[in-house]
Structure 1
């Protein structure tokens, strides 16, 4: 399995922190040199390991915001 390449372009905020120090974060991430996307997932304290998460385009994030504000 190939390594996943990622770059955290912008750290927006921490949503929660687990007892083991992992943080659930909202960031802007570029995966495998692709387009920047909004990303929600858990990260280890050194940001070398991550859990499965969800990525959203700017349009999808805007739609989610509409749903949450109704």
Structure 2
């Protein structure tokens, strides 16, 4: 299996912390030297390991923001 190359170009914030000390974070991440995208996933404290997550373009993030703004939380 090919190695996945990633670079967190901007850390935007942590959403939560697990009991194991991992953080669910929103970051701007460049995957395999591509244009950075918005990314929500679990990361180990030093960002050497990651869990499954979701990657969003700027347009997708805008649509998510609209949906969240319309929710009654």
Does the alignment reach a TM-score above 0.5? yes
CA distance in 1, matches of 2:17, 2:3: 26
SS in 1 for 2:50: coil
- Compute the TM-score of the two structures, normalised by the length of structure 2: 0.94
Structure 2 equivalent of residue 4 of structure 1? 4
Following superposition, which runs of at least 4 residues in structure 1 exceed 4 angstroms of deviation?
Answer: none
Equivalenced residue count is 70
Alignment RMSD: 0.5
Task: Give 5+ residue unaligned stretches, structure 2.
Answer: none
Displacement, 1:35?
Answer: 1.3
Residues 25-36 of structure 1 aligned to structure 2 (within 5 Å): 25-36=25-36
SS in 2 for 1:53: strand
**Residue 43 of structure 1 pairs with residue 43 of structure 2:** yes
Task: Give 5+ residue unaligned stretches, structure 1.
Answer: none
